[in-house]
Structure 1
């Protein structure tokens, strides 16, 4: 098997992390609690006794887990190469300042997840004239919550589109780390600017997002997996070290629109969310 073929096969493992919902359009339909219960039952059945490692996302306020599959924590992100930045509409994780359940969504990753549990002013929630991140799954609006994933790799790579950018011909099994920040979008030009928070640069010979927030609480660290709605009924085999900040930052929605118009990652809309993993047999102990 050629190196190119190996990379294509390895990249395919990432697709559920990146994939959008399978529904053809955002109809506003919300599935019942039973659908989510059935998806979780299928996940439990499809993983039982097969040796899968801990999964993501999780409730970061509940640090207990029974999964005994261990792997080494990835280095600090400052010792790794940034390879991808993308975000999900609504937080995939729960906890801290994002505990408001958005609902079950469509069963394929859209309109589910968790939202900022604080309050916003009428001015911050004022409508905007232009559409932001428009797709067949919907758009972004003031008051929406997003979870941003700054993905890092120990491979010698440069930032690029999809998580395939985290692999190289020389290293198709790198350690992966995701630095995670949850934001709430506001109609406020004085709020944080997403183009600044995703600014790229070289630091000590490594590709970095040089302005990753450092003032949004002590991150919860845990070992888990890749996410995305493609893993609602099956486990991700990939190992990821997670660092999830508990506090929410207000983000100027216009700056998100500008970033979606042009960025190094070919991102133009928000991704869907994976169901929160609640089965303790699929969770590690966090710290």
Structure 2
């Protein structure tokens, strides 16, 4: 009886070692991270982070896109692979017509083609700032620790003038009640899932966490977006100096790095 017991304990130790090592590699001492699967409410990171005000009470500071969705949601659950160019695709990506997939006349906005999925981030700051390039535009010398909010929408990019027009959601010096705002935010794609997380992007992983705390509002369904409108946005020039779509941060799955969704 003793011999089998020793073998059993050794086997258990071998099985547990990878999981122990993995747990040790997860960021320690950070607040909740993003992106996440918004269909799951699980999370055990209880960092005391207040939700940011509604976007209408904040200043739009940045607007950019990621090719493939960083989040996973009901309407974008098709895994596109690991790495900076992985993420998730809209469920309807494989059912587009030949016309929707045809090449556009312009390619001013790089890193996106018909048939691609993109996740668009409208980034807001509590600071008194003007919109500009990168996260630095959300801060100022007088406001170095702002509350941040990201409104997110996942789009399926098509060559179709009848699809949504990105310019309808762009910023063109719009000021409402003294605050910088986009012309509009997408609607009709489900009630946004709101939670506390972090900034995203390819420089962060579960082992290298973002220190920035962000209130996220992520819409659960995809919508079709005309690629010609993205190219028009780039051709017209924009204060964000965005002319290409960015890579993705891989999905955060460790519960220790996720806030519960209520």
Instruction: Sort the TM-score into its range (normalised by shorter chain).
Output: 0.7 to 0.9
2:25 aligned partner: 45
For the residues of structure 1 that align with 2:191 and 2:178, how far apart are their CA atoms?
A: 27
Match of 1:90 among 68, 71, 77: 68
Aligned residues: 238
Q: Is this contact kept in 2: 1:133–1:268, CA < 8 A? A: yes
Q: Is this contact kept in 2: 1:54–1:283, CA < 8 A? A: yes
Q: Deviations over 1:168-223 (max 9, x none)?
A: 11110000000001111111011111112113411111110131112211000000
2:241 aligned partner: 266
For the residues of structure 1 that align with 2:22 and 2:108, how far apart are their CA atoms?
A: 35
For the residues of structure 2 that align with 1:150 and 1:141, how far apart are their CA atoms?
A: 21
Q: Which residues in structure 2 correspond to 1:205-284 (within 5 Å)?
A: 205-232=178-205, 233-261=207-235, 262-284=237-259
Secondary structure at the counterpart of residue 231 of structure 1: coil
Q: Which residues in structure 2 correspond to 1:179-190 (within 5 Å)?
A: 179-190=151-162
For the residues of structure 2 that align with 1:284 and 1:120, how far apart are their CA atoms?
A: 36
Secondary structure at the counterpart of residue 100 of structure 2: coil
Q: Is this contact kept in 2: 1:51–1:69, CA < 8 A? A: no
For the residues of structure 1 that align with 2:181 and 2:225, how far apart are their CA atoms?
A: 21
For the residues of structure 2 that align with 1:158 and 1:170, how far apart are their CA atoms?
A: 13
TM-score by length of 1: 0.79
For the residues of structure 1 that align with 2:254 and 2:147, how far apart are their CA atoms?
A: 25
Distance 1:43 1:60, change over 3 A: same
Distance 1:204 1:88, change over 3 A: same
Q: Is this contact kept in 2: 1:125–1:143, CA < 8 A? A: yes
Q: Is this contact kept in 1: 2:73–2:221, CA < 8 A? A: no
1:128 CA drift (Å):
2.8
For the residues of structure 2 that align with 1:46 and 1:282, how far apart are their CA atoms?
A: 8
Which of the pair has more CA radius of gyration?
A: 2
For the residues of structure 1 that align with 2:218 and 2:231, how far apart are their CA atoms?
A: 24
List structure 1 runs of 4+ shifted beyond 6 angstroms: none
1:171 aligned partner: 143
Distance 1:44 1:238, change over 3 A: farther
TM-score by length of 2: 0.86
RMSD, aligned α-carbons: 1.7
1:224 CA drift (Å):
0.3
Q: Deviations over 1:25-52 (max 9, x none)?
A: xxxxxxxxxxxxx9xx7786151xx321
Q: Is this contact kept in 2: 1:145–1:185, CA < 8 A? A: yes
For the residues of structure 2 that align with 1:44 and 1:113, how far apart are their CA atoms?
A: 25
